[in-house]
Amino acid sequence: MARYIARRLLWLLVVVFFVSLITFGFARAVPGGPFSAEKKLPAAVLAQLEKKYNLDAPLWQQYLSYMGDILIPRITGEAVEGSLRSDYLINIPLGSDFTFQWMNFGPSYKDRSRTVNDIFRENLPISFELGFYAFILAVVVGLPLGVVAALKQNTMWDYLAMSVAIFGVSVPSIALGPIFIWLFAVELAWFLPSGWGSWRQDVLPAVVLGVGSSAVIARLTRASLLQVVREDYIRTARAKGLREGVIIVRHALRNSLIPVVTVMGPIFAFLVTGTLVTETIFGVPGMGKYFVSSITNRDYPVIMGTILFFAIIIVLANLIVDLMYAWLDPRIRYT
């Protein structure tokens, strides 16, 4: 198992390399630069800014310098600083004299008093929180819907559960968000239409973000459970006189969860990294607005940092899902 995890973590480095290379190439290929939108910048000032941010160096040097700051850790005896050049996301004290520092994503080109890590510290927790709430909602709603639909196949409950699932899959959040704001915030005044921090602000964006994923989980749970309950070992358990609840929970549901768990990793990664539209609709101060503005303003460090960070999340989520297979199915072994 340890060797398998080590190989997957090495594969993470390969993924980071290719994602960074592609992102870096596309970002630089777009016409214009981070300071091209500035009004009437003198040539001397523009040259000074490009030198300050290493934009006057060849592209390969810019790439190696940027990736080196992110991937190569350092151990320093200096006090942990918060300067634009030495702001590391991870700072671990090693005794009283040294500090392990890792992942310096550099300064923002547009918000020049802040680093990318400053933006991460302030806004990423909000995006993670929103994505986590949506994921919990998707699991809590999707699994029971799928189980009920499978156990009550071809009944009113099955049709009702699958109708809800089809609605969740079919209606995008960009359409569902305004409807929920009008109904639950304006007409009924149960929740607040925008912002983040109180439960009345958090519920609507979490529901809108999680509805589609709950529908996916419900449909997959139904299909998987219907297949499992027809297996011979389920018939044997019934022939032995086991109670139906024990058969479903202990035998059928656990085995039917294997394909469901397969999609939970990508769903979690999607919900955490795909909050852009929902954050915009509900005015949630997460990473969405910074990522959009970074693309518009050619803020390369924010673009690169956000995409790389989310790529790492996706790979780690898939690793966790693979490790859960061994718990759900003892036949699966990783070497």
Per-residue pLDDT at 248: 80
Contact 264, 321 (CB under 8 A): yes
d(CA 282, CA 54): 37
Domain 116-328 is found in CATH 1.10.3720.10: yes
Task: Give this prediction's pTM.
Answer: 0.82
- pLDDT in 10s for each residue of the chain, 335 residues: 677 778 878 888 888 889 999 999 888 887 777 877 656 677 787 788 888 888 888 888 989 988 888 888 888 776 555 566 678 888 888 877 788 888 888 888 888 788 888 889 888 899 989 999 999 999 999 999 998 898 888 889 888 888 888 888 888 888 889 999 999 999 988 999 888 888 899 999 999 999 989 999 999 999 988 888 888 778 888 888 778 777 787 778 877 887 888 788 788 888 887 788 888 889 888 888 788 888 888 888 889 988 988 888 888 887 887 777 766 666 666 66
What stretches of the chain show up as alpha helix (H) in DSSP?
2-29, 43-52, 59-71, 116-151, 156-170, 173-180, 199-228, 232-239, 244-246, 254-273, 276-282, 287-296, 300-328
SS3 141: helix
CA distances from 333 to 10, 51, 324, 327 (A): 19, 53, 11, 10
Which residue intervals of the chain bear CATH 1.10.3720.10? Answer: 116-328
d(CA 111, CA 40): 19
Residue 60 buriedness (CB in 10 A; 0-12 / 13-18 / 19+): exposed
Per-residue pLDDT at 96: 75
CA distances from 158 to 3, 35, 145, 171 (A): 44, 57, 9, 20
Side-chain half-sphere CA neighbours of 38 within 13 A: 15
d(CA 201, CA 105): 31
